[in-house]
Each structure stands twice: as structure tokens, then as C-alpha cells.
Amino acid sequence: MSGTRRTTRTTPLTRADIVGTAMALADSEGLAAVTMRAIARGLDVEAMSLYHHVANKDAILDALVDAVFAEMYTPRVGKPWAEELRSRCRSGREVLTRHPWAVGLMDSRKGAGLDTLRHHDAVLGCLREAGFTLEGAGAAFAVLDAYLYGFLVQELALPFSDEAGPADVAGEIISTMPAGDLPYLREYATERVCVAGYSFGDEFGPGLELIIDGLERRRAARQSGR
């Protein structure tokens, strides 16, 4: 029949195929490229066949978030909380660097999948079993996620490229500074950013330690009755 697209796919279509193709599209072209038609083209099927496995595009976005959480380290409840959540945040940064489109989606979906829910349960479990109050666990979880996601937003937005790295960009900014003005910014730029080998990502670990140290002091003080 004229106008009917023929496919050459020889294996049964699965939900995992759809999610994997959608993730590959998002990684290579951005989230806007994830459409039912584009996914169908990538799988060599008709777009309507996708609806046998997913309800709509929102369901695919939910599944993508779930797949990202599945890649992240899930903290082990009952183990030392600081080390577990330190590993979780470091893993989260690595995963979100691979999937930068996911940063703004991570906690935005109403249809959270099981991997997402298990991950959140494990984070809360680590904090509660370590002695954090219910309120304290919620606050700790919020500040850790704010740091993780916020750091990625800032890191991904920096005006660096293969041609112009941190030192090049900082050097250009320094050249525009009024002589004798902005001493602390000049010091940081020249003695930190312009030093060979500097990467903004190097700031993640020390910042995470500041947060974990502060949370541990609050936890220990509460348990000692102070």
C-alpha cells in the first residue's frame, strides 16, 4: 500500500528496547529529540507499536529517570552513613555527567519507578538508621540533593570548551578587571583556576565533605544530648 512504511525488525519489541533507544537519543541529541516518532525510527518499527509497551511520552520520561537512578550507587542501609552517601553522591555526579539531560528531571516525575523509589528509600534508611530524626533525615537528603544537582547545573553551564579551558576563560576575565580592584577574585583566578590541571569538577569532593562534616556534627550533637 502506498505511504505505508515497511519495517525490517525481526525481533519482538520490548519496553527495555524503547527505554534504551530513548536514552541513547537523549544522550546524543538532548531530551527534545526524544519523541515517539524518533524512538520508532531508531527501533525500525511503526510509532503506534510503541503504545503496546508504554502509555505515552510521559511514561517514557518516567522510565528514563528510573533508568538513571538504576545506574547510581544505592547506599546500603545499616552501613556507615557518611561513606555510603558520599559514594552515592559521587556516583550520582558520574551518572549525571553521562546523562546531563536528566539533571532537571530527577525529582520532577509523578510516576516514579521502582528503582527511583528504592533509591530514595535507601538514602532515608541510611540516615534514619544512623540516628537522624525524621525531620533531620529529610533536611539532610534535601541538602545533599541540592548540592549534587546544583553542582551539575553549574558545571554543565560553564563556558568552557575544547578550545577554551578554565585557564583561558579566567585569563580573559582577568584582563578586563580594573587594575588594583577585585583582589580576592583575582587571587582565586590566578592561583587556582589558571594553575595547570585545574578542573571545576575538583571542587565537588571538598564541597561534599563540608556538607557531610556538618551533618555529622549535628547528628553527633543530638545523640550526645547537646
Angle between helices 114-129 and 81-98 in degrees, nearest 10? 150
pLDDT tens for the chain, 226 residues: list them: 444 555 667 789 999 999 999 999 999 999 999 999 999 999 999 999 999 999 999 999 999 999 999 999 999 999 999 999 999 999 999 999 999 999 989 988 888 899 999 999 999 999 999 999 999 999 999 999 999 999 999 999 888 776 668 888 888 888 888 888 999 999 999 999 988 888 899 999 999 999 999 999 999 998 887 6
Instruction: Delineate the domains of the chain, giving CATH numbers in brackets.
Output: 1-54 (1.10.10.60), 55-157+200-223 (1.10.357.10)
Residue 99 to residue 23: CA distance in whole angstroms: 8
Residue 163 to residue 155: CA distance in whole angstroms: 17
Buried b (16+ CB within 10 A) or exposed e, 102-132: bbebbeebeeebebbeebbebbbbbbeebeb
93 alpha carbon, distance to own chain's centre:
6
Q: What's this model's pTM, rounded to 2 decimal places?
A: 0.87
Residue 215 to residue 169: CA distance in whole angstroms: 35
Q: Are 71 and 95 in contact (CB under 8 A)?
A: yes
Cell of 67: 533508568
Residue 141 to residue 136: CA distance in whole angstroms: 8
Residue 99 to residue 91: CA distance in whole angstroms: 12
Residue 99 to residue 223: CA distance in whole angstroms: 39
